[in-house]
């Protein structure tokens, strides 16, 4: 089956083929596809495509360099995280996606912020072969265990010591009555945090 639209691809042996060398100028591309949306604000046409074309061979090389139990973490901002995720799915395989870690890069806004304040970046975490990947964890030092995990109960012999983590917000935060909710305990009672 072949499509009649000049911008569409065609089906050959149940595979969808889409030939596009990205040689047409953006104005021609928009005319053919009848787009009326605004283009990318970057100075170059198809900015994301150029960036992805630059990243693709580097990721292919990275996957070839990884051991079977190896992992890769890629730090990326919100402008490209969705594109990078799709690219990594293709290079490493969707089944080898481990996690998208979100980390806070700074606090608050500033005088240059005009709209919403973006406080985070992303780390895409992929393995070469998830079936070969060992458990991931950071061991605590014995000093940290002794300092923080000092509580004992009837499960100590099988589960070890534990610690209590306060449910209240940090003391620097003001009390907000509209943000206080009851937390149901296993015995049915309710715990009401102070902040």
Q: What is the pLDDT of residues 78-127, one digit of tens each?
A: 888 999 999 999 999 999 999 999 988 766 666 666 777 777 899 999 99
Instruction: For the chain, count helices (H), then strands (E).
Output: 5, 7
Q: In the Cβ-directed half-sphere of 11, how many Cα atoms lie within 13 Å?
A: 4
Residues 6+ away with beta carbon under 8 Å from 17: 9, 10, 11
Q: Are residues 102 and 161 in the same domain?
A: no
Structure tokens at 124: 């895409």
Residue 185 lies in a domain: yes
pLDDT tens readout for residues 153-175? 999 999 988 998 876 666 655 66
Same domain, 35 and 62: no
Per-residue H/E/C for 41-85: CCCCCCHHHHHHHHHHHHHHHHHHHCCCCCEEEEEECCCCHHHHH
Question: Which of 76, 132, 79 lies closest to 100 in space, CA to CA?
Answer: 76
Is there a domain that residue 123 lies in? yes
- Give the chain's mean pLDDT: 78
Residues 56/48, Cβ–Cβ less than 8 Å: no
- Please list the residues that pair with 16 across neighbouring strands: 11
Domain ranges, residue 16: 1-39
Total of domains in the chain: 3
137, part of any domain: no
- What does the pLDDT read at residue 8? 47
Same-domain status, 53 and 128 = yes
Using alpha carbons only, give the angle 184, 188, 191 rounded to the nearest 5 degrees: 40
Residues 94 and 125 in one domain: yes
pTM for the structure as a whole:
0.53
* 60 and 11 within one domain: no
Select the more confidently predicted residue: 50 or 38. 50
């Amino acid at each position: 089956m072949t499509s009649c639209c000049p911008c569409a691809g065609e089906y050959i042996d149940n595979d969808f083929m889409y030939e596009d060398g990205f040689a047409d100028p953006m104005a021609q591309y928009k005319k053919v596809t009848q787009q009326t949306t605004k283009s990318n604000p970057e100075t170059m046409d198809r900015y994301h495509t150029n960036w992805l074309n630059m990243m693709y061979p580097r990721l292919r090389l990275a996957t070839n360099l990884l051991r079977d139990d190896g992992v890769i973490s890629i730090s990326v901002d919100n402008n490209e995280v969705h594109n990078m995720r799709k690219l990594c799915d293709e290079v490493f395989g969707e089944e080898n996606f481990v996690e998208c870690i979100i980390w806070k890069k700074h606090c608050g806004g500033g005088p240059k912020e005009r709209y919403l304040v973006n406080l985070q970046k992303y780390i895409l975490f992929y393995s070469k072969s998830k079936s070969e990947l060992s458990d991931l964890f950071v061991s605590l030092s014995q000093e940290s265990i002794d300092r923080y995990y000092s509580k004992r109960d009837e499960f100590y012999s099988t589960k070890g010591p534990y610690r209590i983590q306060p449910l209240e917000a940090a003391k620097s935060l003001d009390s907000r009555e509209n943000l206080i909710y009851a937390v149901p305990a296993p015995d049915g009672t309710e715990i009401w945090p102070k902040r």
